[in-house]
Structure 1
Amino acid sequence: MQVLGQLYRGFLYAMAGIAGAMLVWLMVSVVTSVTMRNLGLQPFAWLFTSSEYAILYMTMLGAPWLVRERGHVHIELVTAALPAHARRIVSRSVAAICVAICALLAWKGAELMLTNIARNDLDVRAYYFPKWVLTAAFPVCFGLMAVEFSRYVFGKTLMHSGEAGIHE
């Protein structure tokens, strides 16, 4: 079981690493595109399209890792003012709602991906690109976010520490 946990954690960190590489690619592609335009050249069509795809994948691939590291945006002003017992209830309830929402989005994302496959949908811009390749990130990443949020529902660690806003 411990090996499975290490593989899972490694997968999350690999996804986050790929998201980081895509962030670098966004910087390179924007600088290249702007430089080409300033030189009077027409930027490559695939440059803009690959940037759009990278924004989607960067967001989706990095999100499960952010949930794991509690790096996602949440406001702790209310939970910081609560007593410890109430904070646990509120934090676990919020995490449970996040699990439900992520599970629903994973389900709907899987339906969308399967529809794209069945219809043989293509994204037609610079190239003909199968849409299911883009939408495949939804069920995988939202499913992993549901798993990560469930760690805050059932695990020892709470999503809300109760410290932000008071000790900063």
Structure 2
Amino acid sequence: MLSKAAFVLASAALAVIVASFAYEVVMRYFFNAPTRWASDLVSFLLLSAVFLAAPWLTREGGHVSITLLPDLLPEAWSRRIVAAGFLAAAAVCLWAGWIVAGEVRILYARGTMTLSAVPAPKWWFTALILFGFVNSALYFLRLAFGTQGERIPSEARNA
């Protein structure tokens, strides 16, 4: 439920990005009055969209995967290889989350702000990165120990 809500927020962020760019283009080229904030807003929303959407995409198997090896192996071995890949991905995401969590604490303690037209606390955005990594790791663990074999199309396993 949390991942779905985050995905909806990521989708809304993409809609705001499109609207902001359209507004910026109209203001810049038709009224010769460029905005100071549009570029910064788009940067922040793009970062937010990526890390808000990552857990849901991980859950749905929307990540990039190269299935050459699992496709060539028998089903039992294919599942083991895929599970090992999910475990490796979970480990990397948890490790990155650990690093980012330390950075969130530092940014919060220092009160560091973004260098933008409209400054915002940096820890807000870094916390979104932490959210994306940790929740993606949890979904990778679920896939590794759950029914990830169903995510591999039967045609690919039997090829």
The TM-score, its normalising length taken from structure 1, stands at 0.86
- CA-CA distance at 1:163 after TM superposition: 5.1
CA drift of 1:162 comes to: 5.1
| Correspondence for 2:148 among 128, 134, 157 | 157
Structure 1 residues without counterparts, runs of 5 or longer: 1-9
Query: Relative to structure 2, which stretch is displaced further, 73-82 or 148-157?
Result: 73-82
State the Cα deviation string for residues 2-47 of structure 1 (Å, max 9, x = none): xxxxxxxx11110000000111111111111112221142322222
CA 1:164–1:145: 2 relative to 1, 3 Å: farther
SS at match of 1:45: coil
Q: Is the contact made by 2:70 and 2:157 (CA closer than 8 Å) also made in structure 1? A: no
Aligned residues of 2:79 and 2:148 also touching (Cα < 8 A): no
Q: Hey, what's the Cα distance between the residues in 2 that align with 1:87 and 1:141?
A: 27
1:87 aligns with 2:78: yes
Match in the other structure for 1:6: none
Which residue of structure 2 lines up, in the alignment, with residue 32 of structure 1? 23
- Contact kept, 8 Å, 1:81 with 1:162, in 2: the verdict is no
Distance 2:116 2:107 in 1: 17
**Structure 2 counterpart of 1:119:** 110
Distance 1:87 1:166, change over 3 A: closer
- Offset of residue 107 of structure 1: 0.7
| 1:156 to 1:22, Cα distance in 2 relative to 1, 3 A | same
Structure 2, unmatched stretches of 5+, are none
Offset at 1:140? 1.7
1:62 aligns to what? 53
Deviates more, 1:110-119 or 1:155-164: 155-164
> Residue 159 and residue 135 in structure 1: after superposition, are their counterparts in 2 closer, same or farther (change >3 A)?
farther
Report if aligned partners of 1:20, 1:58 keep a CA contact under 8 Å in 2: yes
Query: Hey, what does 1:42 align to over in structure 2?
Result: 33
- What percentage of aligned pairs have identical amino acids? 28
- SS of the residue corresponding to residue 54 of structure 1 reads helix
